């Protein structure tokens, strides 16, 4: 595991962990805390399998900074009935995305199934994205936003099981725009006061021109410290910082989210938020509000992705 901050000479940018521990418990464990802290400090993008045939997603898949992957059958676009999906005591939504994991042929073996085969699919997807777009390297929060935004394949089985959807490589590579923010604990105010599209209004604003009639997904994802979350895991505010996402149309009205209606916008349990909507065309304003900032040791690390679906 990696616990250093210097990204310049690191040769590992993405890891897959096909393991699930404690799948019969909802506890956010020391194991999850370790993965959250390691991801936060190292800049390594970490994927974890959700688990199989157990009620709860297993550790380290409960970790907030980790991208947890469920399993579906790509021959039918149906969720695997054994793919775990129940959340931890933190209440953060898991899995975030799903990938093929039924009847997989690999390494001379055939017909293998389970989330241990779906999470490598997603990790390989991320590695390919990094080879094309180097700015994702060393920024797990940014890659997480991209993976969620690019999970546009509709998979049957219920939003609580499928997360944002099935991974879609071509859509993620060729559609949409993105940016990231990283700095000190006070960086949010620094951007609002001098570096966004509408200064000193209490939000980070980004104006994006979106074609009319296009189904659009906007995702924000940010890092949290596992140490803080573990110490506050039984409280109503387990995140070191919480951000809210709003999107306004060219007339200044909030866009109308479309199904799934359970998109985790304005959740105080997730370290990401998602809004899907149909664009009316023209300049749309993405507004990010810092709802809480309880962990004074937390650096701001956030990715924002706009994806045309």
- Output the DSSP codes for 102-148: SSEEETTEEEE-SHHHHHHHHHHHHHHHHHH-GGGTT-HHHHHHHHH
pLDDT tens column, 6-26? 544 567 899 999 998 888 899
pLDDT tens column, 27-66? 999 999 999 999 999 999 999 999 998 889 999 999 999 9
Kind of pairing between the strands at 272-278 and 203-210: unpaired
197 - beta bridge partners?
Answer: none
C-alpha span between 70 and 165 (Å, rounded): 10
C-alpha span between 102 and 112 (Å, rounded): 7
Cβ atoms < 10 Å from Cβ of 131: 11
C-alpha span between 179 and 145 (Å, rounded): 10
Q: How would you class 237 by CB atoms within 10 Å of its CB: exposed for 0-12, middle for 13-18, buried for 19 or more?
A: middle
Domains, the chain, with CATH or none: 14-172 (3.40.50.200), 177-308 (2.60.120.380)
* Average of per-residue pLDDT across 214-241: 96
Taking alpha carbons only, the member of 66, 77, 14 closest to residue 37 is: 66
pLDDT tens column, 120-151? 999 999 999 999 999 999 999 999 999 999 99
**Continuous H helices in 163-305:** 169-174, 187-194, 226-231
Q: What is the pLDDT of residue 126?
A: 96
Taking alpha carbons only, the member of 189, 298, 287 closest to residue 247 is: 287
Helix pair 115-132, 140-149: axis angle to 10 deg: 110
Mean of per-residue pLDDT scores for the chain: 92
Kind of pairing between the strands at 97-100 and 67-73: parallel
Residue 172 has pLDDT above 90, yes or no: no
pTM greater than the 0.95 cutoff:
no
Instruction: Tell me the backbone φ, ψ of residue 38, rounded to 5 degrees.
Output: -65, -45
């Amino acid at each position: 595991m990696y616990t250093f901050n210097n990204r310049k000479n690191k040769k590992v940018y993405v890891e897959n962990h096909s393991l699930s521990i404690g799948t019969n418990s909802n506890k956010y464990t020391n194991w999850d805390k370790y993965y959250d802290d390691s991801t936060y400090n190292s800049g390594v993008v970490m994927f974890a399998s959700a688990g199989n045939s157990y009620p709860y997603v297993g550790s380290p898949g409960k970790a907030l900074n980790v991208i947890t992957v469920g399993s579906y059958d790509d021959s039918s676009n149906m969720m695997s009935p054994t793919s775990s999906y129940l959340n931890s005591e933190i209440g953060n939504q898991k899995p975030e995305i799903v990938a093929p994991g039924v009847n997989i042929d690999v390494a001379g073996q055939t017909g293998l199934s389970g989330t241990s085969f779906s999470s490598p699919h997603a990790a390989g997807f991320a590695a390919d994205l990094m080879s094309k777009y180097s700015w994702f390297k060393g920024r797990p929060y940014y890659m997480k936003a991209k993976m969620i935004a690019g999970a546009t394949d509709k998979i049957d089985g219920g939003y609580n099981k499928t997360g944002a959807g099935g991974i879609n490589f071509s859509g993620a590579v060729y559609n949409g725009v993105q940016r990231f923010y990283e700095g000190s604990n006070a960086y949010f105010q620094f951007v609002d006061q001098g570096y966004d599209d509408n200064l000193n209004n209490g939000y980070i604003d980004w104006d994006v021109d979106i074609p009319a009639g296009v189904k659009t997904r906007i995702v924000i994802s940010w890092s949290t410290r596992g140490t803080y979350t573990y110490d506050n895991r039984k409280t109503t505010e387990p995140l070191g910082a919480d951000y809210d996402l709003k999107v306004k149309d060219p007339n200044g009205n909030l866009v109308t989210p479309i199904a799934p209606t359970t998109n985790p916008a304005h959740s105080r349990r997730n370290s990401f938020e998602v809004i899907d909507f149909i664009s009316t065309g023209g300049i749309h304003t993405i507004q990010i509000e810092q709802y809480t900032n309880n962990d004074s040791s937390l650096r701001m690390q956030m990715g924002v992705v706009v994806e045309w679906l």
